[in-house]
Amino acid sequence: MQTPKAMSNLEHHLVIGGLDITTKVINKSNMAELDQGLRDLLATARKDGASRTIGLDIEKRYLDNLNSYISGRHIPIQEFVSAIMLCCGDFCLIIQLCNNMSSPEVSMVSKLVSKFLELQELTFGGVGIKHCIEALETIFGIKCRDAMDLRDLAAIVTQSNILRTYKLVDLALLVGNQVFYKDELLTKCNGAALSDWSCGTLSRHQIEAATWRAYLAFYIGNHFYARN
């Protein structure tokens, strides 16, 4: 399996299931790149034959100080959303967030991401996505119009309630058992679980893990929506 190869400070490439994935990493100082990245993701979803399903996941980290201030608001929380991962087809975005972002930066990021997540034509899927959206709304005021937990979707489509207990890797193996291997999925998805997801430059392992998780959310959602 190929590992990510940095093409620029923003763009990275890796191969998942034989597909060449482009991942762009956006930080708070690149609002123009964030806007363009979301436009590129929408264009990918609008391609002929696309299901317009977007895989969504987030990365959290514990705050050193439980009393954090976001956009002038007092947020007494233990965890902070440090990254949003979005993926459709062969294109993924990793949007880095910081607990020390200024009010204007929070407002700009929230506005751009909310506008995208509330588009009528898109559906967002993830495992535990309800908690992801709740965290984004609590901290940043970011809302999502149409979010579906992939476990619920899988259970509805297959009429098997046991799937509501599955994890991301379990669902990926269920729908892609000829494409993925369990050991590979566990290694790739969890390869950066204990790393620092604060505002610094992301490592190759972090980019790889975030891309795998976002892509698998898309892959699973795309599979079940096609059958629904």
Q: What is the pTM (predicted TM-score) of this model?
A: 0.88
Whether 169 and 184 have beta carbons less than 8 Å apart is answered as: no
For 221, residues 6+ apart whose C-beta sits below 8 A from its C-beta are: 51, 53, 54, 55, 123, 125, 126, 148, 150, 153
Query: Smallest Cα–Cα separation from 225: which of 158, 160, 157?
Result: 157
Range 77-80, long-range pairs (CB < 8 A, 24+ positions): 77/138, 77/139, 79/135, 80/139
Helices 204-227 & 150-158 angle (0-180, nearest 10):
30
Residue 96 carries which side chain, given as an amino acid letter?
Answer: Q
Which helix or strand (DSSP H or E) is residue 111 part of? helix 103-117
Query: Smallest Cα–Cα separation from 68: which of 36, 107, 98, 34?
Result: 98
Tell me 89's DSSP state.
T
Domain residue limits at 38: 5-227
- Residue 92 in tokens: 């993924």
Please give the tally of structural domains in the chain. 1
- CA 146 to each of CA 100, 120, 130: distance values in angstroms, whole numbers, following the listed order: 29, 8, 11
CATH code for position 86: 3.30.420.10
Reading the chain (228 residues) residue by residue, the pLDDT tens digits are: 444 444 446 899 999 999 999 999 998 667 899 999 999 999 999 986 667 899 999 998 765 554 555 555 555 555 678 899 999 999 999 998 875 566 677 788 889 999 999 999 999 999 999 999 999 998 888 999 999 999 999 999 999 999 999 999 999 999 998 889 999 999 999 877 778 787 678 899 999 999 999 999 999 999 998 877
